[in-house]
Amino acid sequence: MRQAMATAEVGDDVLGDDPTVIELETYCADLFKFEAALFVPSGTMGNQVCLKTHTEPGWELLCERECHIVNYEVGAPALLSHLMINLLDSERGMLTADQIRANVRAIDIHCPRTRIVALENTHNRHGGTILPQSEIKQVREVCDEMGLILHLDGARIWNAHVATGIPLDKLVAPFDSVSVCLSKGLGAPVGSVILGGTDFIGKARRIRKLFGGAMRQVGILAAAGLWAIRNNLERLVEDHTNARLIAERLSALPVFDIDLSRVETNIVIADLTEDRIAEEVLRELYEAGVWAVPFGPRKIRFVTHLDVSREDCKEAVTRIEELYG
């Protein structure tokens, strides 16, 4: 990947003539069967450019309560797009068609317009769960019925593809726009790609500039993204099997409560027993050479990726078992 970056042909992407960025955008548009694509620095910017491009100030966004767009993007929908947000609860990250239909406001002078729905697949805070494609199609039907835009935070759509075998283009077909991440599991150092129609991407390019995301000789980063997709996609199955290993062994320890049915991809969410807090457990893990992140006062997250081998995972679990077994 670094060799590809070092030898990448570059131009000026602000002027639209960086050949490697053009190659990445064309490749992704073809891969997902969208009309056009746009390279952006991060998944957060990808989501927020899409929301801003789709909407007008005062519109209402429907999304799941634990979604990344609301919990990890610094209030950007409200700050940047002036959207009202209606957070809906779910069991595993999937909003239902009936939920959406029930929460679309009547057209009335007193009410904001409910105009956009956002889903997340796979769902980070629900443990990397995969949204059922049949239910996504039902949501699409309701959106068509009620005149709603449907956006996908597909940062980890690659994991859903590898885990289910459903082609990438089929997974994203119900959506008006999609943001996919090139870092995380794929291993690129920087970058995401927005997918949409030609007119939409044309408008999004201007919003990207507004948000400070237009860059110059950025082909060195686009080259990393291309290499990541072409070489690291199918190996994601290794991350999934490693996460399963971690989940199964940790679930046998008294300090952790892990719902194994949610360990579908590369994320393990561990609830802690009532007498333990995340800050304390994470400090003990860190001292043992194991890194994880807090996901609440009594909840922590483990993630597997290409820099963590099977042997690394076994060693990490062994050290945790020595602490809490």
Q: Where are the alpha helices (DSSP H) in 104-167?
A: 133-146, 157-164
Instruction: Based on the fold, state whether residues 217 and 70 are members of the same structural domain.
Output: yes
Instruction: Based on the fold, state whether residues 220 and 259 are members of the same structural domain.
Output: no
Instruction: Based on the fold, state whether residues 23 and 47 are members of the same structural domain.
Output: yes
- Dist CA 229 CA 39 (whole Å): 14
Instruction: Based on the fold, state whether residues 225 and 108 are members of the same structural domain.
Output: yes
Of the candidates 182, 181, 186, 175, which has an alpha carbon nearest to the alpha carbon of residue 150? 175
**Element housing 258 (H / E):** none
- Dist CA 128 CA 143 (whole Å): 25
Of the candidates 39, 76, 293, 301, which has an alpha carbon nearest to the alpha carbon of residue 182? 39
C-alpha to C-alpha distances, 200 to 44, 47, 158, nearest whole angstrom: 18, 13, 23
Instruction: Based on the fold, state whether residues 283 and 240 are members of the same structural domain.
Output: yes
Number of domains comprising the chain: 2
Burial class (CB in 10 A: 0-12, 13-18, 19+), 247: buried
Please state whether beta strands 192-196 and 177-181 pair in parallel, antiparallel, or not at all (unpaired). Answer: antiparallel
Of the candidates 26, 200, 224, 62, which has an alpha carbon nearest to the alpha carbon of residue 142? 62
Instruction: Based on the fold, state whether residues 152 and 54 are members of the same structural domain.
Output: yes
Instruction: Based on the fold, state whether residues 145 and 240 are members of the same structural domain.
Output: no
CATH number of the domain residue 303 falls in: 3.90.1150.10
Instruction: Based on the fold, state whether residues 279 and 159 are members of the same structural domain.
Output: no
What is the structure's pLDDT at 275? 87
CA dihedral 214, 69, 60, 213 (to 10 degrees): 0
Structure tokens at 37: 């694509």
Q: What does the pLDDT look like over 272-311, one tens digit per residue?
A: 988 899 999 999 999 999 999 999 999 999 999 999 999 9
Burial class (CB in 10 A: 0-12, 13-18, 19+), 294: middle
Residue 79 in this model has a pLDDT that exceeds 90: yes
Instruction: Based on the fold, state whether residues 38 and 185 are members of the same structural domain.
Output: yes
Domain range for 313:
236-324
CATH number of the domain residue 58 falls in: 3.40.640.10
- Dist CA 259 CA 202 (whole Å): 43
Instruction: Based on the fold, state whether residues 189 and 309 are members of the same structural domain.
Output: no
Residue 325 in this model has a pLDDT that exceeds 90: no
Instruction: Based on the fold, state whether residues 267 and 149 are members of the same structural domain.
Output: no
Q: Which of 182, 213, 231 is at the close of a domain?
A: 231
Instruction: Based on the fold, state whether residues 195 and 308 are members of the same structural domain.
Output: no
Q: What does the pLDDT look like over 283-292, one tens digit per residue?
A: 999 999 999 9
Total residue count of the chain as it appears in this document = 325
Q: Which of 231, 263, 284 is at the close of a domain?
A: 231
Residue 20 in this model has a pLDDT that exceeds 90: yes
Q: Which of 202, 231, 260 is at the close of a domain?
A: 231
Q: What is the mean pLDDT of residues 67-77?
A: 97
Q: What does the pLDDT look like over 121-148, one tens digit per residue?
A: 999 999 999 999 999 999 999 999 999 9
Residue 102 in this model has a pLDDT that exceeds 90: yes
DSSP labels for 151-165?
Answer: EEEETTHHHHHHHH-
